[in-house]
Amino acid sequence: MTALAAPTSAPDPGQGLGKTGIPRHVAIIMDGNGRWAHARALPRIAGHKQGVEAVRRVARAARDIGIDVLTLYAFSSENWRRPAEEVGDLMGLLRLFLKNEVDDLIRENVRLRVIGDYRALSDDLVRMIDTAIVRTADNSGPRLVIALNYGAQAEIAAAARHLAREVEQGSRAADTIDEAAIEGALATRDLPPLDLLIRTSGEQRLSNFLLWQAAYAELAFVDTLWPDFDEATLRGAVADFGRRQRRFGGL
Ligand code: IPE
Ligand code: IPE
Ligand code: MG
């Protein structure tokens, strides 16, 4: 009887863990801006403004901690369902962020990336994003990945379309579509595997974020509302991650 071959795509235990136990790739579902504002009898936009401050703070903290890739869920493909005024406010804050932060990112040697269908945003935002990506492309330091108009199911569907097209054109055999091929067609293809996925505000769902990539990520649900999230909260989640035993199906 032939033994079952070990699949080559099985994750290597210990991947992502440097000697220090620091996760290489951390993603955050930044949730709770509205509730933060509501608790202060402020309009929701006030929570989103404080949320941008948290982005600034946490991106810096991640670099200080030694996290190589920080992926932030800023706007989901489902967030268009919000009232037009709130969507407009969020886009306005994104515009401000890009205007104010890119010089700092360059100075700090950060590479900016965007995942999600950001080309559906308004033309000026698309231009600003493209410029920011180009201006930080030669940096060699940590990466900041912003998920904009991102939905994991749409990402996986796009990967399937891409591979199907290759088959259709004759450059790929259908049999070669395995986990690695799909991974290679995702928006995150050139990023290290996701080690730690944090969601703030006490909600315990993924809301269509990095569904494929989260297969073996460690999950952390913290009660802190995103505008209150700071370096200490991040360090706490990273320390907790360092105490976990990742098994990847093995022993
Ligand atoms: C997260 O905060 C920000 C975005 C989804 C853009 P929310 O706006 O979802 O805040 P809550 O969940 O209503 O408190
Ligand atoms: C997820 O938060 C999206 C972002 C953080 C950008 P939501 O607040 O939109 O998620 P749901 O609607 O509570 O699942
Ligand atoms: Mg929310």
**β-strand partners of 197:** 27, 219
Domain for residue 8, yes or no? no
Which of 28, 31, 42 gets mutated to test ligand 1 (max ligand atoms within 8 A of its CB)?
Answer: 31
Residues 6+ apart with CB under 8 A from 124: 95
Three-state DSSP state, 26 = strand
Q: How many domains does the chain have?
A: 1
88-138 pLDDT per residue, tens: 999 999 999 999 999 999 999 999 999 999 999 999 999 999 999 999 999
**β-strand partners of 26:** 70, 196
DSSP 218: E
- What is the spatial distance between Cα 161 and Cα 143, in angstroms, rounded to a whole number? 27
149-182 pLDDT per residue, tens: 999 999 999 999 999 999 999 999 999 999 999 9
Active site residue 64: no
pLDDT of 17 reads 52
Supply the range of the domain harboring residue 92: 25-242
pLDDT of 20 reads 64
Token pair 């104010």 in the structure block, residue: 100
Residues 154-170: b if buried by 16+ CB within 10 A, e if exposed: ebeeebeeebeebeeee
Domain for residue 232, yes or no? yes
Which ligand 2 atom sits closest to the C-alpha of 31?
A: 5
User: Is residue 1 over pLDDT 90?
Assistant: no
**β-strand partners of 219:** 197
pLDDT of 2 reads 46
- What is the spatial distance between Cα 114 and Cα 101, in angstroms, rounded to a whole number? 15
Token pair 């990520």 in the structure block, residue: 217
Q: Which stretch of DSSP H or E encloses residue 25?
A: strand 25-29
Rg (CA), the chain: 19
Domain for residue 189, yes or no? yes
- Surrounding residues of ion ligand 3, Cβ less than 5 A: 31
Strands 196-199, 25-29: pairing kind: parallel
Domain for residue 77, yes or no? yes
10-57 pLDDT per residue, tens: 455 445 454 469 999 999 999 999 999 999 999 999 999 999 999 999
Three-state DSSP state, 196 = strand
pLDDT of 7 reads 52
Closest listed residue to residue 43, CA positions, set 100, 90, 99, 75: 90
Closest listed residue to residue 26, CA positions, set 227, 222, 249, 248: 222
Residues 6+ apart with CB under 8 A from 139: 105, 106, 109, 110, 111
Which of 29, 48, 71, 225 gets mutated to test ligand 2 (max ligand atoms within 8 A of its CB)?
Answer: 29
Q: What is the CATH number of the domain that holds 124?
A: 3.40.1180.10
161 CA distance to ligand 1 centroid (A)?
31
Cβ of 208 closer than 6 Å to ligand 2, yes or no, is no
188-238 pLDDT per residue, tens: 999 999 999 999 999 999 999 999 999 999 999 999 999 999 999 999 999
Domain for residue 1, yes or no? no
Active site residue 79: yes
- Of 12, 31, 117, 228, the catalytic one is 31
Domain for residue 2, yes or no? no
Domain for residue 6, yes or no? no
Domain for residue 31, yes or no? yes
